[in-house]
Amino acid sequence: MRKTGILMPLSALPSKTGVGEMGSAAFEWIEMLKNNGVKIWQLLPLNPVGYGNSPYQPYSSCAGDELYISLELLYEEGLLAELPEAFHENFERVDYDAVRSFKEPYLKKAFETFCSKGRQEEEAYKDFVKQSWVYDYGVFRSLKLKNNGVCWNEWEQADKVWPEQRAALSKDVEKEAQYHCFLQYCFYRQWMNIKETANEAGIEIMGDVPFYVGVDSVDVWSGKKNFLLDKDGHPIFIAGVPPDYFSETGQRWGNPIYDWDYLKEQKYQFWVDRIGYSSKLFDIIRIDHFRAFDTFWKIPASCPTAVEGEWIEAPGYEVIDTLLEQLPDVHLVAEDLGDLRPEVLELKEHYHLKGMKIQVFSIETNGKYAYDSFKDVENMIVYTGTHDNDTLMEWYHNLTCPAKRKVRRFLKRQGFGEGSVKDRMISYILKGKAEYAIFPMADILGLGKEGHINTPGTVGSPNWEWRMPSFEQAKKELSRYKELMMYR
């Protein structure tokens, strides 16, 4: 069955607190998708954002960012005595630091009320915190605060090795750890309510799982043997990609490289646990940088760029076989973009996974004629673009005049000669054979540079900050494509 999806970060939804959250606007968004025939809501990672506010450098593979917890729902639950006044409600960018500072006092008050009512003794809460990752994450965040926020491999020695020695914690550290356990409980309950509502509306949630984890994460701190680290916990090698379309010096991500030999000895339990928990949160799991299951770029940590490195083969078949054996109902799709060797596509096809095509990369404008490379392929997800490239209109306006004419002629030859370029490009994908057609919300809105989410190889503002202050324009634009989306 062909399905239409919208790529919309949770952080970009409207709210009264300056960042998208899991309150009333999220449910209004789901209703809007349902009414316009959208069957997939694709997200960026929901994990606690780390360095540069990137969701691809999170503090945990399982935890959710407390930034997205709805204060409105905490109030309705009786954990807050009053609702806060609006904060940054009409801002078009997320100011992460300001929003965190605004929301934290309310989250602390909710925790105090939760404890004063004895709700930590409720069976649902006790069952949730029994999961091994929850308390470890709470301790990680508490010790990070104690150590002034620096990366765990710069902590005091006793704190560095806490996962191995499990030393008693001070009263203050333990209380802070319990606070973060509470936040994760709130996040999980609010998120699962959203997922259930979406599923009841016939909408699947596509989550995003980065191939790598951040070095400053509970995953690495509590599972050091899974990674190639020196005795002090610093990566010996780091992940990235060599020079490509996005960067002349490549992308030096800084994530630690897996110790695949050790993971094999452990029957890839790290991956089973990670994907297994994600499968509770999402209906479809997009594996970001899927190509690393085949080969990965291994950069010496001492190198300042990603130019130096080597391609190393990974045990992709073994890992995916294990995942499918242990998690038979998991639904994976592959981010297989970039310059790939044929073995990557063979790996994807072996498991009949959907890959991705980006319209703005697939319509070639440099040659004599424009053409596409996805027109007749069904087992595929076609996008106008992703969070990592220019918006559709940004791309088009940056073309030369001759290239723009080639695009328009191409669309006319395909039977799309009327309307704006945006409408014609979106309609062309919606009438294609690909099983999934997914559009970033910024492209539905027709935004230019102001809707650009992330520029690979760069860190910090304005990356990850775009948000939509209201649904007014979104409702108008989605309704214009309703018929095509409803009856793909």
Residues recognised as catalytic: 288, 335, 388
Q: Are 207 and 281 in contact (CB under 8 A)?
A: yes
* Residues 6 or more apart whose Cβ sits within 8 Å of residue 465: 53, 93, 94, 95, 96
Query: Tokens 């945990």 appear where?
Result: 60
Using DSSP, how many helices (H) and how many strands (E) does the chain show? 20, 12
Smallest CA-to-CA distance from 22 within 181, 182, 187 is with 187
Name the CA dihedral angle for 150, 221, 173, 141, rounded to a multiple of 10 degrees.
Answer: 60
Contact 49, 55 (CB under 8 A): yes
Decide if 17 contacts 182 (C-beta within 8 A): no
Measured CA distances, 55 to 29, 58, 432 (Å): 21, 6, 31
**Beta-carbon count within 10 A of 81 CB:** 9
| DSSP H stretches of helix in 150-170 | 157-160, 162-165
Task: DSSP for 272-287, please give it.
Answer: HHHHHHHHHH-SEEEE
**Residue 30 Ramachandran class (φ > 0 left, ψ -120 to 50 alpha, else beta):** alpha
- Give CA–CA dist 456/52, Å, rounded: 12
- How many Å is the Cα radius of gyration of the chain? 23
Q: Is 240 helix (H, G, I), strand (E, B) or coil?
A: strand
**Per residue, what are the HEC states of 294-336?**
CEEEEEECCCCCCCCCEEEECCHHHHHHHHHHHCCCCCEEECC
